[in-house]
Amino acid sequence: MILKKVAIFTVIFSFALANIPKTVAQFTLDVTLETDKTLYMQMELVNITGNVSFQNELVEDGLIGIQIENPLNQTIMLRTLPLATETSGGFTIEISSIIFCDQYGRPIPPTTQKDKYVWISMTVENKGVTTRTVHASITIVDSNLMPLDIGRASFTIPPGKTAQFVPRMYIPNWATLGTAFAYANAYSKYPKDGGYPLCPEKSLQFDIIESTANPPPAEPTQNGTYELNFRLPSHMPSGIYQVTSAAWYIGYTGFSSKTFETIKLGDINEDGVVDIYDVTAVCIAYGSKEGDSNWYSKADLVKDGVIDVYDLTAVCLLYEG
């Protein structure tokens, strides 16, 4: 039996159609939140979907902020997604630029290597007539959709002025080679603390090696819906994760939550250790592919639709005895 560590993996959503709150108490938003599975192995793709409706109708505009926390209560991702194919605009706070740069904020070619630090600059503009407090973030994700690092800062911006945030960010040695993505966001407060997006996110891409890739889609399939995909890095602790959503729309709020479980990579029989029983499970299913009578999806460790020498090698490398 797995020794489960009850961990909080909080994905808190906050939704904004306008960025000036109003006090309204008699209605709430209806927010749905789903994951495509209830049990994931480390490195598997996690798919989060949902929708936001008001008075039984899907909203036709707006943004939803997503905050993801690991079991140590550390934020590993902040994203803002649109809830419509086109947003209405008119935001008083705007991310005017995001650039790959050196430590002084000067633009440089967008390439780097593993086990290196990079600097990414975001500029936030206050187009309003009052001073605003902004809680900013930059999240970097590799081509395999695994979050690599995040930078956060809070600052005030006088009306008509800009502020620049240039965090130093680390590219770990386990990052996937290829094109990585950086996502810059601005919130009234971070979603976990009851905040909401102040404007749409802005992104850039850079190469960990020379390659080309397309960023994950950010547009909803229809108004009022949202979707986010990411993978759990192999060092992420196993246990019960909780996904919580909190939507905001000009004073209206709505909430939803769901849990899912993760298990250790290579622990095919889910007994908390990678041992001879897991190697045996791969051997029994060896040579099978999806649809075969001896196919066992948990033994497909590299997730390529066939159980072969790569899966056997993987379980042997993960072997703990």
212 vs 76, higher pLDDT = 76
User: For residue 203, is pLDDT > 60?
Assistant: yes
Q: What six digits make up the tokens of 235?
A: 């060092």
pLDDT tens-digit series, residues 294-311: 999 888 887 788 999 988
For residue 73, name the pLDDT band (cuts at 50, 70, 90).
confident
For the chain, the C-alpha Rg in angstroms (whole number) is 21
Please provide the average confidence, as pLDDT, over all residues in the chain.
Answer: 83
pLDDT tens-digit series, residues 43-60: 788 999 999 999 899 988
Place of tokens 């909401």: 196
pLDDT tens-digit series, residues 222-271: 788 889 888 888 777 777 777 777 776 665 667 777 777 787 778 888 77
CATH topology of domain 276-317: Type 1 dockerin domain (1.10.1330)
| CATH superfamily ID and name for 11-263 | abc- transporter (atp binding component) like domain (2.70.50.60)
pLDDT tens-digit series, residues 14-25: 444 444 444 444
Q: What is the mean pLDDT of residues 144-153?
A: 94
Return the pLDDT at 208. Answer: 94
Domain ranges of the chain: 11-263, 276-317
